[in-house]
Structure 1
Amino acid sequence: MARTVKPLSNTQIHQAKPQDKEYNLPDGDGLALRIKPSGSKLWLFNYLRPYTKRRTNMGFGAYPEVSLADARRRRADARVLLAQDIDPKEHRDAQIKLQLEANELTFERVINQWFEIKKASITPGHAEDVIRSLNKHVIPQIGKVPVHKITAPMVIETLRLLAGSGKLEAVKRVCQRLNEIMVYGVNTGVVPNNPLTGIRHAFQSPKAVNNPTLKPKELPQLLKTLQRANIRPITCYLIQWQLHTMTRPGEASGARWDEIDQEQAVWVIPAERMKKRREHAVPLTPQVNEILKALEPLSGKSPFLFPSDIDPRKHANASTANVALKRMGFHGRLTAHGMRSLASTTLNEEGFDPDVIEAALAHVDKNSVRAAYNRTDYLKRRRTLMEWWSTHIDCSWSVRHPTPLTTGSLGERRNGGHVSQHFGG
């Protein structure tokens, strides 16, 4: 018959004195308080390990930090696990390991893991913008916080400074990116749920602002201002190039010489540089070829048509044309992206097929069959459209001015006053 153990009392524990050798005060069901010669009092739980059936001790902590009531609760929890053939010590060690790993898995680490996947599906320029916004507005403040401890109030407080500066569009984009990161965390099992759902509703919504653009009748004014602008020749050609090709700022500023196929008279932009991640072919008009000839002595030794002024090994910044247009007096009236709208409006008013215009603008057709048709037939039709557009740009200038559009005052000074590099052929 098993010996009955009388449960311990707090008084008994408190009065227990150290002896020459350590000894145990049993509480029953495997729980005992070990008194050491040094005077320390440690809780131990003795049990049979599942499967091996070997006895072992599991420490529950020291008294009085762990009270008698706490020790008994831990014994009860351990016995529940043993009833399921789970070793309580192994279970505790596994939980501690998980907790340590969770604390080491910071928000910054998860952001970087997500970004490695995200950047493969967006253009390099967009990827740079994404990680820059997170490095500026999120990571310095809460990047070191374990991802499982990230909360909506914490993130909202982090973004209040950005919102307070009136940059509501930036707040909206950061909130979208943070939600994507947390969805990634849920899908990879690092967090059980997304605590940031709906955080954008904690801020005012930005007012919808379209990229400003000129009316078709204002095109001659743009061309006249461009000729007189005191800007770098490369920048002037970049604006001309984007206007003629109807491409996005990032696509135009990152144009490479090895993307130009002179034999086929086409500029092939690879999928990784396109917003919609699909290769885009731009027919080269005679006017665009004239721009290429003018660029050869300026950037022919660089991989890029429009190399950076700071580092020739890199291409011009996507915002270069925008900055120049602002300096030219078009702030609030026209952006580099708005030149696409100017072309689209003009071509639609002239009665060109809207589908061909959309294809020229690289707007992805969601109908895969129709998209395949675009790649074959539309290229021929787009060449006709692009040639009309380039000729229209020429005419918009020459109707009012007998001389061709040049690179502007800098270009004239570079050539000793003689205009040899012109816009429009």
Structure 2
Amino acid sequence: MLTPKEIRALKPKSKRYQITDSPGLALRVQVSGVKSWVFRFSRNGRVTDQTIGHWPEISLLQARAIVRKKQRELEIEPTGSFTVRDAFKFWCSKKKGRILSYRDERLRLEKYVISKIGSRQLDSVTPPMIIRLMEPLEEEGKASTIKRLLMRTREIFDMTVNAGYLSSNPLSKITKVFPVPTVTHMPAVDWKELPIVLSQLEKLAPQKYRVLFYFSLATLLRPKEVISIRTEWITEEAITIPAEKMKMKRIHRVPMTPYLVSLIEEAKNIRKNKRSPYLFPASSANKPISSQALAKWMHEQKEFSGRLVPHGLRTIGRSWFADHEIPFEVAEACLAHVVGSQVVRAYQRGDYFAARQKILPKWHEYIQHCAQCAKVLNGHSDNSRAETT
């Protein structure tokens, strides 16, 4: 079978010649250098050649798809054409580096769709076939996974229609088969309950988890962003996190405050691996602590399990901002959220750093106040136990 590289290398000769790609498809090279696709078929003992277009206006994969369609129409045993795996590779080539969740989406598709029907011809895939693939996930209650898979599979087929490999998308309505998944927000408590939360933290947490908790709460960064922080990013003015380490792929600066300085110093002092470039290092010098380390510890504590997760600390902070009349754009900037339409973002490129320099100290004062209340609560708790005894 031909390859695009071989087709490009074909040169005209003194006479017209023809090269077979696969049963029913050949490429004819004219003396002038024009290359034409030819569909060859036999009916009633007579062989007929039918020109279906020129290369490169019609690509190799498109020509194979056209021939396959004609063979099906003529009830001729069809030959190999564009497969689901081919379409998936085409999707990968267009989406890699363009969507934030590319790696997770690719692995999910490979596991649940491509590994099952990757070798099938694209035009042989039907909605019932995809529905059957999703049924085991539905039984497991993985509605969100089904939603993502159906969305991306439909997108793959849309792209093949636009590329000319299919005339229409048979999966255009498939997302309506399954119910819309119920959105469950990350567990978080009201900001007014923070003294109680910190009281439990002070009683239960080893020092490294306690510092990691307070640092996450103070900076309002996502867990992966917290553990990525390197000491070289820290200056007297701010912690500056490179774009590639942020979810939204934009540089983010966290204004420095006296409280944040004290947390950073404590984090540095308790590091066992002093040579690590990371503020929260793992045992290896080249790795930070796992982004799930704090989440795992909190899940193991009955006081936190099902009630609060590290990501929920951002919710506590955002709710506190809302109830203290912090401007919407400034509050969102504290969480490194991207807000506004594409046009708005084209003009508004600031990060509200000056405004955040005024707001974060107030947020940190509240955290410190809650920490003091936590110590008082723990003291009352100890006295109560003593009196009971």
- Which residue does 1:171 correspond to in 2? 146
Is contact 1:133–1:174 with CA below 8 Å preserved after alignment?
yes
Question: Which digits, 9 at most, give the CA deviation of each residue in 1:62-90, with x for residues without a partner?
Answer: xxxxxxxx425x55x54xx48x999xxxx
Aligned sequence identity (%): 28
Q: Is 1:331 paired with 2:312?
A: no
Aligned counterparts of 1:223 and 1:325: Cα–Cα separation in 2: 12
Q: 1:294 aligns with which of 257, 262, 266?
A: 266
Structure 2: runs of 5 or more not aligned: 1-28, 33-38, 55-61, 69-78, 379-389
In terms of Rg, which structure is larger? Answer: 1
> CA–CA distance in 2 between the matches of 1:312 and 1:159?
43
Instruction: Write the letter of the residue equivalent to 2:186.
Output: N
* SS state at 1:362 partner: coil
Distance in structure 2 (CA, Å) of the matches to 1:238 and 1:183: 45
Give secondary structure in 2 for the equivalent of 1:281: strand
The residue matched to 2:197 in structure 1 has which SS?
helix
How do 1:213-224 residues align onto structure 2 when only pairs under 5 Å count?
213-224=188-199
Quote the Cα distance in structure 1 between the aligned partners of 2:214 and 2:259.
10
- 1:344 Cα offset (Å): 1.1
Instruction: State TM-score, norm by structure 1.
Output: 0.64
Give the counterpart of 2:126 among 151, 157, 166. Answer: 151
Q: Give the direction of change, closer, same or farther, for the CA distance of 1:174–1:59 in structure 2 (3 Å limit).
A: closer
Return the alpha-carbon distance in structure 2 between the equivalents of residues 389 and 284 of structure 1: 12
Specify whether residues 222 and 399 from structure 1 end up closer, same or farther in structure 2 by C-alpha distance, changes over 3 A only: closer
Deviation sequence 1:298-339 (CA, Å, 0-9, x none): 455334333456x66444444433333222232332222221
Residues of 1 paired with 2:274 and 2:41: CA distance? Answer: 74
- What is the total number of aligned residue pairs between the two structures? 323
Q: Give the alignment of 1:190-339 within 5 angstroms.
A: 190-229=165-204, 234-258=208-232, 260-263=233-236, 265-296=237-268, 297-298=271-272, 300-308=274-282, 313-329=286-302, 330-339=304-313
* Alignment deviations for residues 336-391 of structure 1 (CA, whole Å, 9 cap, x no partner): 22211111111221222222111212222325557755626x21111221111112
Distance in structure 2 (CA, Å) of the matches to 1:235 and 1:134: 36
TM-score in terms of structure 2 length: 0.70
Matching of residues 22-171 of structure 1 within 5 Å: 70-71=43-44, 74-75=46-47, 78=49, 81=50, 103=80, 105-123=82-100, 126-171=101-146
> Is residue 242–residue 252 contact of structure 2 (8 Å, CA) maintained in 1?
yes
C-alpha distance in 2 between matches for 1:299 and 1:60: 72
What's the counterpart of residue 30 of structure 1?
none
- Per-residue deviation at 1:262? 0.8
Give the aligned residue type for 1:279.
I
1:4-41 alpha-carbon deviations (Å, 9 max, x no partner): xxxxxxxxxxxxxxxxxxxxxxxxxxxxxxxxxxxxxx
Q: Distance in 2 between matches of 1:95 and 1:381?
A: 59
Give the letter aligned to residue 91 of structure 2: W
Counterpart amino acid of residue 267 in structure 2: L
Do the aligned residues in 1 keep the contact of 2:65 with 2:82 (CA within 8 Å)? no
Cα distance, 1:148 vs. partner?
A: 4.1
- Once residues 255 and 89 of structure 2 are traced to their aligned partners in structure 1, the CA distance between those partners, rounded to angstroms, is 39
Alignment check: 8 A CA contact 2:64 2:81 kept: no
Does the aligned pair in 1 maintain the 2:202–2:374 contact within 8 Å? no
